[in-house]
Amino acid sequence: MSENYAPKSAVGRWFNDRLPLLNLIYGHLLPYPTPKNLNYWWTFGGILTFCLVTQIITGLVLAMHYVADADLAFASVEHIMRDVNYGWLLRYIHANGASLFFMAVYIHMARSLFYGSYKEPRELIWIIGVFIFLLMIATAFMGYVLPWGQMSFWGATVITNLFSAIPLVGESVTNWLWGGYAVGSPLLTRFFTLHYLMPFLIFALVILHVWALHVPGNNNPEGINVVQGSQDTVPFHPHYVVKDMFALVVFLVVFAGFVFFVPNLLGHTDNYIEANPLQTPEHIVPEWYFLPFYAILRSVPDKLGGVILMVSAIAILAFLPWLDTSKVRSAKYRPLYRQFVWLFFANVILLGYLGAQTADGLFLIIGRIATAYYFAHFIIILPLLGYIEKTKPLPKSLSEPVLSPEERQMKAAASGASA
């Protein structure tokens, strides 16, 4: 595909002969053969790229006005809100953008789980994705600390204190992270620099993610192998460029709804109170997108145990391609997995709900059951399903489930006539 590409202009040819950058872009964005049956759940890859670029651009401008100092940070954010031209817009896009980024990434991951996109030969794409998710978590957490409100400060205190659970060296590690003996300016400054750095690491991983994707090509809702360039594929442009753009604009309507009409709905009111080390908020809660993991952390009475379990909850995702023993990818052809994957989604949402409640009484008990189930899904249910599940017969090609028998006959007759 890309080898045949020749730029139309003389300048383009001159450039491309010396550095085939245009070849690369052309091959990956224009004729790239894509399964023709991708549904709207597949549009979130493009949406996520948009989210990342938006966060980087708005973040860049915010960083020009933000001051990373414990005494000045809160006021500098308000300065952005009040005095910087359209600073309020930039900040609301950036703050809500983080939430929508996570909304999109959770849908993207759920799609992969449902259609088995993490399976052979796409294991590496998935693993790179897990690392992207990990970096997103770190970036978002550090970003939330920067406005230096009460939740910023106490969230940073709770999370950095988790490192003190490490045996023997825990306290030294925590003090090293803090750059002192408490959460304060040194921590804020290093969080700011790391918050600035990480999106570029994410960007690099996204390039690897897409590169690795374009080797085997996209998975699809049927989960069957598709011959690239066959009648089962369509060129990425214009088919998926336009479809992705349509989905992106619909996504942007939701995004704009948050930014312009309820910009503080997803935030916490306490973060409009400047950080006060002497006054602990009544409930310290993380941003909504961390709540399931927060619930897992709190379901263990032991600090170290909680930390290990929370980290494992994310780390276990990287092993998913081997924990799932079924050869069939799509849940459409896996009647049992189809039910269990929905149960898993429901369980994660339940954990999210519990993460926002106080960890005691009935909530704590349910939280422990839900945590146990989260892990059971990966280490008991998925390995077993591959052996006991009777999967449905897979179609031979994408055209089979899409076309009715008559249409297929007509199509075969037409192609026979033209040959």
Partner 1 sequence: MKEPMHPDWSFEGPLGKFERASLQRGYQVYTEVCSGCHSMNLLSYRNLIEEGGPEFSESQAKAMAAAFEVKAAPNADGEVEMRPAILSDKFVSPYENEQQGRAANGGAYPPDLSVMVKARHGGADYLYSLLLGYVDAPSDIKLDDGVYYNEYAKGQKIAMPQVLYEDAVVYTDGTAATPEQMARDVTMFLTWAAEPKLEARKRIGFKVISYLLILSVLLYFTNRQIWKDTH
d(CA 3, CA 305): 54
| 402 near partner 1, rule: CB under 8 A | yes
138 binds partner 1 (CB under 8 A): no
Window 278-307: contact mask with partner 1 (x via CB under 8 A): ------------------------------
Distances (CA, A) of 37 to 41, 42, 104, 223, 412: 11, 10, 21, 11, 19
Q: Which is nearer to partner 1, 89 or 107 (CB)?
A: 89
Query: What x-and-dash track marks residues 62-101 binding partner 1 by CB under 8 A?
Result: -------------x--x--xx-----xx--x---------
Burial class (CB in 10 A: 0-12, 13-18, 19+), 364: middle
Please report, as a single letter, which amino acid is at residue 395: P
Q: Which residues of 52-72 are buried (b: 16+ CB within 10 A; e: fewer)?
A: bebbeebbebbeeebbbbbee
Per the structure block, which two tokens stand in for 76?
């500098």
Does 120 sit near partner 1 (CB under 8 A)? Answer: no
Window of 61-69, 187-195, 237-245, 389-397 that interacts with partner 1 by CB under 8 A: 237-245
CB 62 within 8 A of CB 94: yes
| Secondary structure E strands in 62-149 | none
Nearer to partner 1, 181 or 261 (CB): 261
Judged by beta carbon, residue 77 or residue 309, the one nearer partner 1 is 77
CB nearer to partner 1: give 18 or 396: 396
Binding mask 254-273 for partner 1 (x = CB under 8 A): --xx-xxx-xx----xx-xx
Instruction: Compute the least distance from the CB of residue 9 to partner 1, in Å.
Output: 26
CA-wise closest residue to 271 among 136, 98, 391, 113: 98
Q: Quick check: 176 binds partner 1 (CB under 8 A)?
A: no
Tell me: cis bond preceding 7? Omega within 30 of 0 counts: no
Interface with partner 1 by CB under 8 A: which residues? 36, 75, 78, 81-82, 88-89, 92, 234, 238-239, 242-243, 245-246, 249-250, 252-253, 256-257, 259-261, 263-264, 269-270, 272-273, 399, 402-403, 407, 411
